[in-house]
Amino acid sequence: MSIFKRLPLQRKLMSMLLLISSTVLTLATAGFALHDWYDSRLQATENLRSQADIISTNSIAALTFGDAESARVTLESLDNVQDIVLAVLYDADKKLFAKYAPGNFPVPTLPTSSEGEIDGALYVLRPVMMDHDAIGYTLLLSDLGSLTTRQADQIGIAFIVFLLSLIVALLLSSVAQLIITRPITELAMTVRKITRTRNYQLRVRNRSEDEIGSLATDFNLMIEQIQARDNQLEQARQLLEEKVKDRTAELLLLTQQLEHQAFHDSLTGLPNRATFDNNLNTAIHYAQRSNEQLAVMFLDLDRFKDINDTLGHEMGDRLLVELSARLQHCLRSSDTLARLGGDEFAVLTNNTSQNRAADIATKLIRTIQTPVDIDGFNLQVTTSLGISIYPADGDDATTIVKHADTAMYYSKAAGRNQFSFFAKEMNIRSERRIHLAQKLRQAIEEQRFEVYYQPKWCIRRNVIVGLEALIRWFDADEGAIPPDEFIPLAEDQGLIGLVDQWVIKKACADILQVRQQFGEHIQLSVNFSPAHFIRRDLYKRIAEILTETGFPGESLELEITETFMATENEQLLEQLNQIRSLGVEISIDDFGIAYSSLSRLKRLPLNTLKIDRSFIRDIGSDRDDEVIVKTIIDMAHNLNLKVVAEGVETREQLAFVRHHNCDQVQGFLFSPPVPLEQLICLMEQQESLVQA
C-alpha cells in the first residue's frame, strides 16, 4: 500500500483502471463459463429426458409381452445419439430387462433419483407407464467428456476474449488517464515552475469545462490574486526600503548631529568644554614629550548680561555668533577656540610663549572691542581675559584651566577690558571672591547694607537740588567692603536686581523725610540695573514702591547705564514710557563711554545725561576730553536734556563745566557720599547759609 502511495498520479490512475477492467472482465468471463456449463448440462439432461421418454414409449409393448429382443433393438436405436454410453430397460420389478452398452459401460445399480451423475456420466431415469401404472423403467447415461471438451473450448475462447479485452482496456485506460491527468500534470508543473521562478505571470491552459477546468480557472484566479498581492508587497517592500534608507540616512545624520552636539556648542558651532578638555589633555601630553609650552586663555564678555536683558537673548545669541567668528580669525588652525557656556570662551594655543600669548590676548581684546552692527544696532562689548601657561602655572589640565579662570576674574576686578597672566597671589583673590559671594547672599537676606547719598549741586544757584543714592556694605568682620568689589560680584551672581530694589525702597523712605524737612525741590536719583527690564512687571513694582513709601514719582530719577540705553528695543521703549507715566525721570549714567546714536536718544523718554567721570577727570590736561565734554553739553541741551557732570573734584573742572552751561555737578569738591544723618547736617548747614 505504501508503494502505491508513492506512485505518480498517472500510474495510480492507470493501475486503478486496469484493476477495474481486469476485475470486470474476470467476473464476466467466469459468469459466462458458469452459465455455459450450467446451460450445457441442462441441455444434455433435457436431451436425455426426451430420448428416455421415446424409449419408454417404444418399449411398452416389449415389456408387456416380455420381448427382450425387441426391447434391445429399441435401445440400439440410440446408436446414432451422440454421447450415449449406456441404455438399460428394467421391468416393473426393477430387474434388468434389456441393455445397450456401446462403450461397455457397466450397468450401475438402479438409482433412486430420476436425474443425476453416476461414475462421471449424466443419467436420466424415466418410468414406462401404461394405464397409469409403471410397467418398467428406462435408464439412459450420457458421457460428459464432450461436454467438458466443449466447456474447455469455451473457456479458452473466453480467456482469449479476456486478454483482448484487457489489452483494449489498457489502451483505453492510457488514453483516459491522459485525458484526466494531463491537465492535472500541467497544473502541477505550472505550480512547481511558479514556486521555483516566482513568476506569477504564468497561467494554466484551460482544456475543459469539467471540474478540472474549474480547478484550472480557480487556480489562475488565485495566481492573479497572489500576483496582485505580490505586486503590493513588492511596492510595500520598495517603499519600506526607501523609508529604511531615508531613516538610516536620518539616523546617520542625527548620529553625526548628536556627536557634533556632544562635542560642539549648538549656537556657535565651536568646540564645547568636553572637546576643549580633551584637546588640552592631548596637548599637555604632547608638550611633555616635546618639552614645549602651551597657553590657556579664559575670556568673559564684560556686561554681556545687559544686552541679553535689554535686547533679548536672540540679539545676544547673534552677537555671540559674530564674536565667535571674529575670535576664530585671530587664531591659528592648530589653536582651539571653545565656548564654555554663556559668554565664556576658552583658547588653547600650542607651542607658544608668554610673549606670544600676550600678543594673542591683545588681538582678541581689540577684536571683541570693535563695535558690531546687527539689524541697525551698534553694539560694543569688552572682554576680560585670563592666561595660564603650561608647565609654569600647573602640570595638569584641571590646574591650568582653574588658574586661567582665576586670572580672568582678576582682570574683571582690575577694571575689565584687559588681560592678566596668572600669579600665585591670584588664588587668594579667587578664594576671596568665593568667600565674598557667600557673604553677599547672606547680607542680602539679612539686609546688612546701608544707603549713602551724594548731593547734586545746581551750578547757577549753588544749592543742593538732588541726591544720588549709593549702596554701602559694612561687614561685621571685615568692615567696609568697597562697592567696586561687591557690585560687580552681585552682577555676576545675578543678585544686583535684589540689591537695587532694596536701595530704591530704602532711599525713597529716607529722602521723603529729607523733603519734608528741607523742601520738596530735592530729587532722588537711584542707579537701576538692566536686569530689572527682563521682567514685564517693572512698571508695577516701581508703582508699588512709590505707593508703599508715599514718595512722589516726579521727584524720582532712575539712572541707567549708557551701555544699556545704547541699543534700540521696542520692549525697552515701552517699559520706559510706562515708567515715565508715573512721573519718574530717566537719566543716562556714565554717558560717553558707549556708542549712543542721536536717533536713539531722540526716541527714548530721557530727562538727563550724566557725563562720565573719566572725561571730567582730564579737564585741563586733555584737550580731547574737553571737546567731548563741551559737545555732550551742547548736544544734550539741543535735545532738551539736563546735564550732570560726575566726578568734579577741582575748581578748574567746576569752572570749565560752568563756563559751558552744565546744569548740575556732583563730586568730592562739594561732598562725598554720606549717610543720612550727615546728609541732614549738610542740608541744615546749607539752609543756614541761605538764610544768612
562, pLDDT greater than 80: no
Find the mean pLDDT for residues 623-642.
90
The reply to whether 584 and 606 lie within a common domain is: yes
Mean pLDDT of 454-476: 90
Q: Domain check: are 3 and 89 in the same one?
A: no
164 and 141 in a single domain? The answer is no
pLDDT at 662 over 90: yes
Three-state DSSP class for 523? Answer: strand
Asked whether residue 251 carries a pLDDT value surpassing 70, the answer given is yes
Distance, CA of 626 to CA of 611 (rounded, Å):
12
Mean pLDDT of 136-153: 78
What pLDDT was estimated at residue 594?
57
Instruction: Name the residue range of residue 589's domain.
Output: 454-691
pLDDT exceeds cutoff 80 at 677: yes
pLDDT at 413 over 90: no
**How many domains does the chain divide into?**
4
Separation of alpha carbons 146 and 350, rounded Å: 137
Same domain, 544 and 597: yes
Percentage of the chain exceeding pLDDT 70: 89
596 in the same domain as 515: yes
> Does residue 245 form part of some domain?
no
DSSP string, 414-427: TTSSSEEE--TTHH
Q: Alpha-carbon distance 23 to 40, whole Å?
A: 25
Ranges 203-212, 365-374, 439-448, 617-626: which has the least confidence: 203-212
Q: In this structure, are residues 407 and 428 in contact, taking their beta carbons and an 8 Å threshold?
A: no
- If asked whether residues 62 and 186 sit together in one domain, one would say no
Q: Are residues 664 and 532 in the same domain?
A: yes
| Residue after which a domain boundary falls, among 174, 190, 206 | 190
Does 361 or 428 have the greater pLDDT score? 361
| Per-chain mean pLDDT for the chain | 82
Q: Residues 536, 401: one domain?
A: no
What is the number of residues in the chain?
692
Q: Is 222 a domain residue?
A: no
CATH code at position 294: 3.30.70.270
Residue 242 included in any domain? no
The DSSP secondary-structure symbol of 271 reads B
Mean pLDDT, range 513-542, rounded to an integer: 79
Alpha carbons 525 and 508: distance in angstroms, whole number: 10
Of 283-287, 353-357, 560-564, 612-616, least confident by mean pLDDT is 560-564
pLDDT for 674 equals 92
pLDDT digits (tens, 9 = 90+) for 71-107: 888 888 887 777 788 888 888 888 888 888 887 778 8
How far is residue 450's CA from residue 502's CA, in Å, rounded to a whole number? 10
Phi then psi for residue 478, to 5 deg, are -105, -15
Q: What is the dihedral of CA 527, 533, 538, 541, to 10 degrees?
A: -50
Element (H, E) at 464: strand 463-475
What band does 599 get if pLDDT is binned at 50, 70 and 90? low
- How far is the C-alpha of 559 from the C-alpha of 500, rounded, in Å? 11
Residue 221 lies in a domain: no
Strands 121-130 and 382-390: unpaired
pLDDT at residue 207, as a whole number: 67
511 shares its domain with 629: yes
- Provide the pLDDT for residue 487: 79
Give a yes or no: residue 225 inside a domain. no
Residue 263 in any domain: the answer is no
Domain boundary among 401, 422, 443: 422
**523 plus 637 within the same structural domain:** yes
* pLDDT-above-90 percentage for the chain: 21
Q: Is residue 293 part of a domain?
A: yes
Q: What is the pLDDT of residue 618?
A: 87
**In terms of domains, do 401 and 462 share one?**
no
369 and 489: one domain?
A: no
Task: Tell me what pLDDT residue 110 has.
Answer: 82
Residue 115: what pLDDT?
A: 86
Residue 507 lies in a domain: yes
Query: At 561, which CATH number?
Result: 3.20.20.450
